[in-house]
Structure 1
């Protein structure tokens, strides 16, 4: 655990005044996107590390070492799974209109990298969530216009640090977290399906060590549970727990010992399922009657359908931003080390059901001598893991109950 000193928490927007962050969402507040731009239009040096088993990305191959592109002009996180990748087209249009991109003989070509998470269950009413695979099939009208959403997020992009300074203080709560942007439709703890999941969200956390500033923005939509100090604080609820109606946030949380009784524990759910399947198979081997065979086939089909549901309902996305001087290879290493923050705060993480990915961006400009030009990659990577962990926790703690998903702030209601 990194000690409290010698760093201090800072507002995310104060990492660099050149950072612009914009959020947009659909009318029903069920899905959204977050866009990171540079005020000067020059973009960022960037790296990435994708660790999950089911990623949904755009233009990320360009961030590999040895590829031509060094700078990207925008980084986009969104909901909507593959449909959400349309956000980048809206962002590209906005950047072209503002003459941002690599100059060619024909038109400016912006480089826009994106990763999407799966939040489609939020489009349906609470009672319809369990029948999602059939309800949404062929109903594209349920989906928002992600092209327009991406464009609108660019229009909304701002850096609020100047406003904070005018107020004479750095109000860390001024940063927008929770049900916003790419975290609008996020939910967590889906080992037993979405009906026992909780609300996820978007979280930010940033620190300063000497001249080095580094922060993380994370959209939490994980398959597993969220952990703090070794204890589950949000995630997969026990099946007999989630019996609430429309929730209004109480802004109070239950004691960690009391809360522990609410959770099924994702890892134990997976282990018990494995043991049950093994027991069922052993029973089948001892009894080869036709009825037993039919029952085994039915059980296998049910398990296959459950695996299909799990495989497309998750993914946590993150962006680490620093003002330090790093090249693309170093930034990719920082992104790799930042994944430790996922492992510390989400259990399990990087599963086949997740598309866990982290971008790493540097705002460094040669004309800015105040930046720490010699920050070791290992130091930045260790700090990146720390801010990612804290951003995950802030996302969950800032979320509000919606769409039938209870949030961390409302866990007390489940105990009453």
Structure 2
């Protein structure tokens, strides 16, 4: 764990004055998107690392070493799963209208990278509940549901407009040390609007996730993370679960899992009687059902294959189908004082995933699409010096070209990602029947 005497927390927008962040949502705030772009239209050098088994993304191949395009002009996180990828088209339209993009002979082509998370249960159920029962679409069919989806194209465009409107506010926050100014950037906002966590038993026992930001400054080096927390597993702080899969019946005792009671009871955090503990549930399911849950190659008790099992009407199969709907997304932004190549940024993105592993258990599962982008705001014509936190910089090296150590920045990236995940769930508020972390704090205080 890093010692906070070595750095200070800063507002996320103060990483660089050219950062613009915009959010947009559907009418019920149950799905949304977040866009990060630059006010000068120059874009960012970027890297990415996708670790989950169910990613949903756009233009990530362009971030590989050896690809023609060096910079991206916007990075988008959204809900909506594959439907939410339309947000990038709206962002592309906005950038094109503002003459931003990769220059060609006929038009500037905006390069927009995106990753989307799965929040369909929250907003679709919310929409269906507003329809008279006799007119509601069949739960087992897509018919009648597509028109309930938000217009993600317009949502992406609106997020850009909202980002542009925030320029004056960003300038004020860039010159401010007040972290409280950024409280509105966390929780049920943007890509975190429909996020939820702890879904191994489906939506009935999962909790509200959200968007979280966290940024620090070490010497002249600034780095921060913005994360939409929508994980299959539980969220962990200091070794204790703070949000995740709730117990179906807190008072129920299962004599078949006596051997696991010691493991569960050894967790001494104050919410230990509330959470099922996803990792313990996986073990319990394995011992009780003898299914190969380690690889999620499922067979029922009669030996039927995975497809037949998942299409069955059993309660366990339905729960697992609902559990296959996750993804936590992150964007790490590095201030302009640090200069990196594209390959180094992808390495930093890989190291940043340690922040997911520390704060979400389990993480990077087959049911998650965990992805992290890393954006560098460095400008080649910047008059500011490129610095390192080490004190033994050789005197014969021009500081303007001195690169901050990749290992250091990767370690810091993991730290800010971990803190952003925790802030995301702590800032979330109850929505659509999903309890939030703050509700558990209230419960614990009064019981």
TM-score range, shorter chain: 0.7 to 0.9
Q: 2:274 aligns with which of 250, 259, 262?
A: 262
Q: Is the 8 A contact 1:136 1:142 kept in 2?
A: no
Give the corresponding residue for 1:286. Answer: none
Give the corresponding residue for 1:13. Answer: 13
Structure 2 CA distance for partners of 1:185 and 1:241, relative to 1, 3 Å: farther
Name segments (4+ residues, structure 1) moved above 6 Å: 126-129, 294-300
Give the corresponding residue for 1:209. Answer: 218
Q: Is the 8 A contact 1:126 1:404 kept in 2?
A: no
Give the corresponding residue for 1:274. Answer: 286
Give the corresponding residue for 1:347. Answer: 361
3-state SS in 2 of match to 1:384: helix
What is the alpha-carbon distance in structure 1 between the residues aligned to residue 423 and residue 366 of structure 2? Answer: 25
Structure 2 CA distance for partners of 1:133 and 1:356, relative to 1, 3 Å: farther
- Cα distance, 1:103 vs. partner? 1.5
Q: Is the 8 A contact 2:11 2:173 kept in 1?
A: no
1:309 aligns with 2:318: no
- Cα distance, 1:136 vs. partner? 5.2
Structure 2 CA distance for partners of 1:68 and 1:238, relative to 1, 3 Å: same
Structure 2 CA distance for partners of 1:12 and 1:140, relative to 1, 3 Å: same
1:364 aligns with 2:383: no
Structure 2 CA distance for partners of 1:135 and 1:226, relative to 1, 3 Å: farther
Structure 2 CA distance for partners of 1:340 and 1:295, relative to 1, 3 Å: closer
Structure 2 CA distance for partners of 1:109 and 1:411, relative to 1, 3 Å: same
Q: Is the 8 A contact 2:13 2:174 kept in 1?
A: no
- Cα distance, 1:74 vs. partner? 0.4
Counting matched residue pairs gives 388
- Cα distance, 1:137 vs. partner? 5.0
- Cα distance, 1:69 vs. partner? 1.1
Give the corresponding residue for 1:287. Answer: none
Give the corresponding residue for 1:174. Answer: 181
Give the corresponding residue for 2:399. Answer: none
What is the alpha-carbon distance in structure 1 between the residues aligned to residue 120 and residue 220 of structure 2? Answer: 41
Give the corresponding residue for 1:251. Answer: none
What is the alpha-carbon distance in structure 2 between the residues aligned to residue 56 and residue 104 of structure 1? Answer: 28
Structure 2 CA distance for partners of 1:65 and 1:126, relative to 1, 3 Å: same
Structure 2 CA distance for partners of 1:123 and 1:367, relative to 1, 3 Å: same
- Cα distance, 1:259 vs. partner? 1.4
1:327 aligns with 2:334: no
3-state SS in 1 of match to 2:269: helix
- Cα distance, 1:370 vs. partner? 3.2
Q: 1:140 aligns with which of 123, 140, 146?
A: 146
- Cα distance, 1:296 vs. partner? 11
- For structure 1, the residue ranges without an aligned partner over 5 or more in a row are 243-255, 281-291
- Cα distance, 1:161 vs. partner? 3.8
- Cα distance, 1:322 vs. partner? 0.2
Q: 1:374 aligns with which of 403, 415, 418?
A: 403
3-state SS in 2 of match to 1:260: coil
Q: 1:385 aligns with which of 384, 403, 414?
A: 414
Structure 2 CA distance for partners of 1:106 and 1:236, relative to 1, 3 Å: same
What is the alpha-carbon distance in structure 1 between the residues aligned to residue 38 and residue 19 of structure 2? Answer: 5
Q: 1:338 aligns with which of 352, 360, 373?
A: 352
Give the corresponding residue for 2:232. Answer: 223
> Which TM-score applies when normalising by structure 2?
0.82
- Cα distance, 1:174 vs. partner? 1.5
Give the corresponding residue for 1:246. Answer: none
Q: Is the 8 A contact 1:188 1:200 kept in 2?
A: yes
What is the alpha-carbon distance in structure 2 between the residues aligned to residue 8 and residue 384 of structure 1? Answer: 14
Give the corresponding residue for 2:254. Answer: none
- For structure 2, the residue ranges without an aligned partner over 5 or more in a row are 130-136, 252-267, 293-300, 388-401
Q: Is the 8 A contact 1:188 1:223 kept in 2?
A: yes
Structure 2 CA distance for partners of 1:135 and 1:30, relative to 1, 3 Å: farther
- Cα distance, 1:260 vs. partner? 1.4
- Cα distance, 1:124 vs. partner? 3.7
- Cα distance, 1:100 vs. partner? 0.2
3-state SS in 1 of match to 2:385: coil
Which digits, 9 at most, give the CA deviation of each residue in 1:244-264, with x for residues without a partner?
xxxxxxxxxxxx833111000
- Cα distance, 1:44 vs. partner? 0.2
Structure 2 CA distance for partners of 1:241 and 1:405, relative to 1, 3 Å: farther
Q: Is the 8 A contact 1:128 1:135 kept in 2?
A: no
Q: 1:186 aligns with which of 195, 211, 216?
A: 195
What is the alpha-carbon distance in structure 2 between the residues aligned to residue 5 and residue 414 of structure 1? Answer: 34
What is the alpha-carbon distance in structure 2 between the residues aligned to residue 374 and residue 106 of structure 1? Answer: 36
The root-mean-square deviation of aligned C-alpha atoms, in Å, is: 2.5
> Which TM-score applies when normalising by structure 1?
0.88
What is the alpha-carbon distance in structure 2 between the residues aligned to residue 132 and residue 239 of structure 1? Answer: 27
What is the alpha-carbon distance in structure 2 between the residues aligned to residue 10 and residue 220 of structure 1? Answer: 21
